[in-house]
Amino acid sequence: MSIALKQVFNKDKTFRPKRKFEPGTQRFELHKRAQASLNSGVDLKAAVQLPSGEDQNDWVAVHVVDFFNRINLIYGTICEFCTEQTCPVMSGGPKYEYRWQDDLKYKKPTALPAPQYMNLLMDWIEVQINNEDIFPTCVGVPFPKNFLQICKKILCRLFRVFVHVYIHHFDRVIVMGAEAHVNTCYKHFYYFVTEMNLIDRKELEPLMCSQRKIQMAASLKYP
């Protein structure tokens, strides 16, 4: 592994602190199982399938937190190049612009520079995944009825980070020698959200349209 690629995994580069699972919990065991599957080189399409007998909400919760950590790390490696000057609008090329709305300060969709959008996004996700009423950590505490809807919104917004990095900062990823890691992370994310039906296909269009430009790994086929 190159020195540059090692920097991708450097905890000091993480955009936000990592959320971890408590040892001894069911979610911790699911997380270990998911990581073991990935590390064993198993086909990613198989790795994202819900294990027999496991709860769907637990499986989704594990992956949402894991993707938050991974995407955090990826954006953290390029965030110094994502400024209000280089990225005055949060976008994925000229055709796609993402506006922020949180029903608090920004009650209507608002155009923001990419780094400001990213900060608000990561803050918002942290609040969701650290909320015990949404992501319960105690055994026996049920997930809320709208849990999957919340996760769909989180994953949809995390996907926009991939879009922005690929379209506007992939040159930096290549310079760092980290494109294989980022591509694998994206493929893992893509296969999971499509397997579990957690993102509208229309949201995936920006990267499907830009597949040649970003030179996605040849094994990634869109149905």
pLDDT of residue 210: 54
* pTM for this prediction: 0.80
What CATH number corresponds to the domain at position 44? Answer: 1.20.140.30
The length of the chain in residues reads 223
Look at the chain and report how many structural domains it folds into.
1
pLDDT of residue 28: 52
pLDDT of residue 176: 86
Nearest CA-CA partner of 143 in 158, 159, 132? 132
pLDDT of residue 47: 85
The count of other CB atoms within 10 Å of the CB of residue 5 is 15
CA distances in angstroms from 123 to 31, 92, 102, 142, listed in the order given: 23, 21, 11, 24
For 112, the domain range is 3-220
Annotation: binding site: 82, 87, 164, 169
Strand partners, 91: 97
Over the chain (223 residues), what is each successive 10-residue block's mean pLDDT?
40 47 52 50 81 90 91 91 96 94 92 96 93 86 95 97 94 88 90 95 81 45 44
DSSP H or E run through 147: helix 147-175
DSSP H or E run through 74: helix 56-78
Annotation: binding site for Zn(2+): 82, 87, 164, 169
